[in-house]
Structure 1
């Protein structure tokens, strides 16, 4: 029997794909923005035509997320993309002319490598292909060892969609054999222009160092603050809708609700009347026992499952209409299970005497748990909103809107993207919603002022 060294095999596969990507980039360099837009436009049209079937197939096969939510998300994302990014120029002449004595030229950066998250949404896969095509870069996608085979199967199908538009083949590549050694090789390989790490924190430590520019796409689990001046019922509806949307797998999904003690009872009552179930201490013990066992199950764990599925699996009796499981917490401690990232419809509530202490609680969550790429506030007090905006080290702040669709630019005035730069978490070098702008550089041409 022949022994195969998996480390060497994975390193060689990576090197081969990066060399192929370099060759394909030469082809892409011959395309201008008009041609790239033609391909991305055809891709959008083809995906929209088959969207219902594609989403149903993906959610059913991967067994996480929610079909109806995913369909709505992708439909609205593609519409926003067409209205904004699709109309912009990132490659070629961006601005100015000889008469202005100043010209800006957008230039693709080269080979972009994407580290996939464990449970990508269907819309994220579509987003990534559009990023590649619109920016004129070659992309190499690195599978996550926890990706289900159905994820890569759908991703390859979407690549087939773009290649049927006559987009050059070989510009979107996959590496499926992944080891720590191949990731180390990736981080030092000179053929890589940019690394996009989407919510894979296992590759952010001293073991994996790189001088290559790196963008970290933040994941779920961010704090939301409701103060006493807010439209409280709407705020509660927004939080429940956002946290349960697509079963909690979207970046920017709320996991921590911080509020003032004076309105806590009203918030809890409103939550229960809008589909949230507030757990007892015994319920929480059952839940923690199940989640601890479930997270070791790659095939069918709790990530992206509904609140009722999780409750039933935990032997917790909840109404069939339950959309969210809620834990009321008194303190934030290092060993608190609910402080870890939970990509599912579970929410922890923290109560503080006033908005100033609530502000400090939000800062603790952002800083100590490294979850600070996004913050949401529900308030009608302009001074409080301004103070939060000034004090909080976050890349984006959503005001009076559901976070998961707001932070991603679907329902709030951010660029539409499911990759939320997490530079404020101490990871990566961007805090923006990632668009083709972050995947190109500007070559500036200046003319003499004396001519």
Structure 2
């Protein structure tokens, strides 16, 4: 009976949140640029002031990642994001083409549903709240069951800061009693116009099956290729900095390291010098068994854990100061568990003859769960980077840490925690999602050509055909053709 009551309460709460947010969004849709910017600045201040406490709550509740890195993500999802989006045209006339006489006017999408993962709960809630409000949308969050408290706290802070700056009450909501029934109710309810899904593949697939527009992401099984002309020390430093950032919980983090055979010894030595531990085949098998359940499904207890913790849990001994674990793999797919996505501090390791072989291996790894997402390159040869631009991904990250590069922290990409994988990865967009993905565009188009005196295209074509053929026709044939054309025009109403 308790479970039954909980489900009923959960679904009813969801309905109430959606109705209230929908009404609030109708008010917000009338706000000006100045009003929206005032609200955003208030939300950013609240996120900045609470970045540390939200990070602590997230780590305490989920056990994933590191407080200092989650604090950075909360700040990045607020201040850095605001600096990027504050001048974006999302209200009123956003473009005027004076040559073609077309005026483009932005309108909000309406009420959004935000699906929040357990790996980046508070930063994702902050990020989605800000991009939703910037586009004059409301949003209701469905948190991951293992990150309810911290997601709810982040959403409440964003709501209260928005309302304090003039936003209508209930413009941001969050389910406090999460259940599968509640999530399904929110996905399919009439009030929700679009879903922004960040989470596991099953949840994203469900979002796309809800019968309404959705922006989702896919897994990011990112290969990192160290090419022979790379600065090896810097490449290794960037990879370790990325893989240890929040203990590998960002989907853009590297999953496999590929290096040219001619620099293999140098790469291995550099990893060892900087805190990488190369596991024996036996140790790799022990760690793999601990990392995955039922094939290659990630063990939640190993997500976002430090290398020392994973080693200890797997029954292997590693040197003090070990930052990442590396296991050599001889292939991709079944039988090679480290070739799959690992949102933690473990990397697969491969060596290849040259960049062509690296290309082929990268494609196999991407097709093993990561198509459309990202690839990481370390090279001093620009031509190599351009050759890899033909690979089936939408982010080719060169000479940077993949985690920070993919989300736009160390690159010029848009700051985002929803990274589209395009149609290759089953996503509706290949972009880092911004407020521009959350608006509708209406167009006022003025006439450029006058068709009032122009013959009907079919009539003109028939007349031209008759004229072209008349020289070769007899008088009777010509008369018959004219009658046929007139009959056709009468049927069409042209004469």
- Provide the rounded CA distance (Å) in 1 between the counterparts of 2:56 and 2:9: 35
| Structure number with bigger Rg | 2
- Provide the rounded CA distance (Å) in 2 between the counterparts of 1:193 and 1:273: 52
266-275 vs 250-259, which moves further: 250-259
Give the match for residue 393 of structure 2: 394
Give the match for residue 312 of structure 1: 312
CA shift, 1:168, in A, is: 1.7
309-318 vs 244-253, which moves further: 309-318
- Provide the rounded CA distance (Å) in 1 between the counterparts of 2:436 and 2:207: 30
Give the match for residue 93 of structure 1: 93
333-342 vs 5-14, which moves further: 5-14
Give the match for residue 256 of structure 2: 256
Distance change in 2, residues 1:161/1:313 (3 Å) = farther
CA RMSD between the two structures: 2.9
- Provide the rounded CA distance (Å) in 2 between the counterparts of 1:208 and 1:250: 22
Give the match for residue 34 of structure 1: 34
CA shift, 1:229, in A, is: 1.5
Q: TM-score, normalised by structure 2?
A: 0.82
186-195 vs 201-210, which moves further: 201-210
- Provide the rounded CA distance (Å) in 1 between the counterparts of 2:395 and 2:405: 10
Gaps of at least 5 residues in structure 2 are 451-495
Distance change in 2, residues 1:75/1:139 (3 Å) = closer
- Provide the rounded CA distance (Å) in 2 between the counterparts of 1:89 and 1:419: 20
Distance change in 2, residues 1:181/1:82 (3 Å) = closer
Listed as ranges, the matches of 1:367-406 within 5 Å are: 367-390=367-390, 392-406=391-405
CA shift, 1:123, in A, is: 2.4
Cα offsets for 1:291-330 (capped at 9, x unmatched): 34798986xx222221122222223222231111111111
- Provide the rounded CA distance (Å) in 1 between the counterparts of 2:131 and 2:58: 21
CA shift, 1:130, in A, is: 0.9
Q: Contact 1:215/1:429 (CA < 8 Å) preserved in 2? A: yes
CA shift, 1:173, in A, is: 1.5
Q: Contact 1:217/1:420 (CA < 8 Å) preserved in 2? A: yes
- Provide the rounded CA distance (Å) in 1 between the counterparts of 2:153 and 2:256: 34
Q: Contact 1:141/1:175 (CA < 8 Å) preserved in 2? A: yes
Give the match for residue 118 of structure 1: 118
Listed as ranges, the matches of 1:310-349 within 5 Å are: 310-349=310-349
1:283 equivalent to 2:283? Answer: yes
Higher relative contact order (CA 8 A, sep 6+): 1
- Provide the rounded CA distance (Å) in 1 between the counterparts of 2:311 and 2:277: 10
Give the match for residue 488 of structure 2: none
Q: Contact 1:184/1:209 (CA < 8 Å) preserved in 2? A: no
Give the match for residue 271 of structure 1: 271
Q: Contact 2:323/2:345 (CA < 8 Å) preserved in 1? A: yes
Gaps of at least 5 residues in structure 1 are none
Distance change in 2, residues 1:266/1:412 (3 Å) = same
- Provide the rounded CA distance (Å) in 1 between the counterparts of 2:219 and 2:298: 19
Partner secondary structure for residue 215 of structure 1: strand
Distance change in 2, residues 1:206/1:409 (3 Å) = closer
Listed as ranges, the matches of 1:163-182 within 5 Å are: 163-182=163-182
Give the match for residue 439 of structure 1: 438
- Provide the rounded CA distance (Å) in 1 between the counterparts of 2:154 and 2:187: 27
CA shift, 1:180, in A, is: 4.4
Partner secondary structure for residue 351 of structure 1: strand
Give the match for residue 68 of structure 1: 68
204-213 vs 88-97, which moves further: 204-213
Give the match for residue 139 of structure 1: 139
213-222 vs 303-312, which moves further: 213-222
Partner secondary structure for residue 45 of structure 1: helix
Q: Contact 1:217/1:419 (CA < 8 Å) preserved in 2? A: yes
236-245 vs 327-336, which moves further: 327-336
CA shift, 1:242, in A, is: 0.6
Q: Contact 2:18/2:192 (CA < 8 Å) preserved in 1? A: yes
Q: Contact 1:249/1:344 (CA < 8 Å) preserved in 2? A: yes
Give the match for residue 4 of structure 1: 4
CA shift, 1:110, in A, is: 0.7
- Provide the rounded CA distance (Å) in 2 between the counterparts of 1:171 and 1:191: 13
184-193 vs 257-266, which moves further: 184-193
202-211 vs 334-343, which moves further: 202-211
Q: Contact 2:109/2:439 (CA < 8 Å) preserved in 1? A: yes
Partner secondary structure for residue 257 of structure 1: strand
Distance change in 2, residues 1:181/1:3 (3 Å) = closer
- Provide the rounded CA distance (Å) in 2 between the counterparts of 1:297 and 1:99: 58
Give the match for residue 416 of structure 1: 415
CA shift, 1:80, in A, is: 2.9
- Provide the rounded CA distance (Å) in 2 between the counterparts of 1:237 and 1:285: 26
Q: TM-score, normalised by structure 1?
A: 0.90
Q: Contact 2:42/2:161 (CA < 8 Å) preserved in 1? A: no
CA shift, 1:122, in A, is: 3.3
Listed as ranges, the matches of 1:187-198 within 5 Å are: 187-198=187-198
CA shift, 1:115, in A, is: 1.7
Q: Contact 2:375/2:395 (CA < 8 Å) preserved in 1? A: yes
206-215 vs 119-128, which moves further: 206-215
Q: Contact 1:214/1:429 (CA < 8 Å) preserved in 2? A: yes
Q: Contact 2:39/2:167 (CA < 8 Å) preserved in 1? A: yes
Which structure's residues are more often helix, by fraction?
A: 2
CA shift, 1:417, in A, is: 0.8
Give the match for residue 84 of structure 1: 84
Cα offsets for 1:241-284 (capped at 9, x unmatched): 11111111113011111222222221111101011111112322
